[in-house]
A and B are shown apart, each in its own frame.
Chain A
Amino acid sequence: MRTATVLAVLLIVLIAVTMIASGIGPYSISPLDVARAVLRRLSGGSDRGTVDTIVFNIRLPRVVAAAFVGAALAAAGAAYQSLFRNPLVSPDILGVSTGAGLGAVVGILVGLPVVFIQLMGFAGGLLTVTVVVVLARSLRGGSDILVLVLAGIVVGALAGAAISLVKVLADPYDQLPAITFWLLGSLAGVKANDIAATIPVVLLGLAPLILLRWRIGVLSLGDDEARALGVEVSRLRAIVIVAATLVTASVVAISGVIGWVGLMVPHMARLLVGPRFDRLLPASILLGAAFMIAVDTLARSAARIEIPLGVLTAVIGGPIFVWLLAHNRRKLLP
């Protein structure tokens, strides 16, 4: 009952943030005008004037992209925190972000078009997590959380070293700035058709997490207890890893590497709705979307240059996280 109220409020906040963010920029539009334009478009009306052009062609695609990036990272983070029974885990624990980063910077180094750089990022993320899981399996049956995390650290470190090597090899005037910008995360270059390609993949990855929400929550009790309660632990864990990797890799491919969101947003959501995963997941999705829209709006409007998203999420996320820990120690850390 209370959870439903919280989720309704978060949904209203998300809609409000969307309208406000779509109005902010060099050409200022009031949130009400944005809402009117959206409603007109939804009811089948035709485009009218500058406001519509700016809202639908420039602002809204980027806002929607930010919403999906935030929702995907927060959902993957919440799922991994339950899976690894550790509230201090983020979506890139198995190296998906570093792997995606390596794929993309290699794409930039060899001068591929943007679409292929994104595909390389996506493939790099998937490939890295596959290597991590296969490595963990060959080491010890693959059912051991610790081995998975260690394999993730090792493969992630290798991918990180490879990224450094690519940076050294890259043209310092042309390629290096693009690589650096990509590794810090940005939605500046995102296009409507990128978003159209990403949304189905994100939804495909979120669907199993939403459907299996109760069982994923039971997984947080530990392998033995979850199995004794009737959960097929190995199969469920495989599904969660594939789903979380899919959503993370697909958004990293369009936004670059953005830290902190997947770690911090589930914590904020946990304060609102408690630790139960079936409640935490929808709250994280809504909160992650709203948070990312706000951060991306700041990134494009706070200064005369685009501020990298990874920088902003760290600057905003770090202090918020410390505050959360200091004021809610009891709730967050047992």
Chain B
Amino acid sequence: MTLLAARNLSIGYGQTEIANGIDLSIDPGSVTCLLGPNGIGKTTLFKTLLGLIPPLAGKVEIDGQDLSGLDQQTVARQIAYVPQAQATEFAYSVLDLVVMGRTAHLGAFSAPRAADYAMAMTALRRLGIDALAERDSTRISGGQRQLVLIARALAQQTRIIVMDEPTASLDLGNRILVLNTIRKLAEDDLAVVLSTHEPEHAFVVADRVAILAADGFLSGPVETVMTAGELSRLYRVGLIVEKTPSGRFVVGPA
């Protein structure tokens, strides 16, 4: 059963088409990794999947329903967004920032209640950053901030989470923590879509891989898409994929 689907999707802003012919189907309990060079439109694709910008052609479906017919609050109960970490103008505490993830579940005139704060704390604990709860969110490291934004998406309690380069600014320890968390989310039957510049991360977490390249869109299971040939074509350098004795995959120059 497909939770999130793109059907012959064409993405871009206004009159400018960035990519077309995108077909994607994402199941619950799966991790989909989106690879693509800088500036190819990965964030634009995510914004289209989230309903933040309209598709130029084709459509996005959540649970079989056309996204363009749904209001923003309904969409936000189904699909959460983890943007690339950047500081806000206002010095919200970490807990306040995470509890904003509850907005889609609140009435139009309501503010979060004790139960919402409890869910926000649970989300922080799940990522092991509950000690940051009272800290100023503009005064924590980029990696911590990334984890806080993931916690906010968890507090949103959606079935789909879209993450824009969630490992980009993290150190090795936090990178492994985030990748393990993504795996666990999939085990809890969530559908996770993430973009990354590290093909090796796709081997670690992904069930399926989607490639957005200058010459078109391609998606499929990890083992059929993540070949030396495809990766070389994608990044325009000769690459090889090696399997280490411990069973891990390593991507390196040919």
Contacts and interface: CB of A to CB of B under 8 A. Distances in A.
Contacts of B232: none
Contact of A230 (B75, B93, B110, B111): B75
A230 B96 contact: no
B111 A331 contact: no
B90 A87 contact: yes
- Most chain B CB within 10 A, of A217, A223, A230, A278, is at A230
A234 to B, nearest CB: 10
Interface string B61-82: 0000000000111011101110
28 contacts: A86-B89, A87-B90, A214-B103, A214-B106, A214-B111, A217-B100, A218-B103, A221-B88, A221-B100, A224-B52, A224-B83, A227-B52, A229-B101, A229-B156, A230-B72, A230-B73, A231-B72, A231-B73, A232-B71, A232-B73, A233-B72, A274-B91, A274-B96, A275-B91, A278-B111, A330-B139, A331-B91, A334-B88
A213 B111 CA distance: 8
Interface string A194-209: 0000000000000000
Contact of B80 (A211, A228, A233, A274): A228
A278 B94 CA distance: 16
Instruction: State the 3 A-B residue pairs at the shortest beta-carbon distance, nearest first.
Output: A230-B104, A230-B76, A228-B81
A226 B101 CA distance: 10
A232 B80 CA distance: 15
B140 to A, nearest CB: 12
B92 interface: yes
B87 A334 contact: yes
A137 interface: no
Contacts of A212: 108-109
Interface residues of A, number: 31
Interface string A276-306: 1010000000000000000000000000000
Contacts, number: 86
Contacts of B21: none
B226 interface: no
Contact of A225 (B71, B83, B111): B83
Nearest to A222: B88
B19 to A, nearest CB: 19
Contacts of B220: none
Given A215-B108, A232-B71, A225 B92 contact: no
Interface in B86-122: 87-93, 96, 100-101, 103-104, 106, 108-112
B103 A215 contact: yes
Nearest to A208: B109
Contacts of B93: 274
Interface in A248-297: 274-276, 278
A186 interface: no
Nearest to B74: A230
A227 B74 CA distance: 11
A227 B111 contact: no
B76 A229 contact: yes
Contacts of B50: 227-228
B70 to A, nearest CB: 11
Given A214-B106, A218-B100, A227 B72 contact: yes
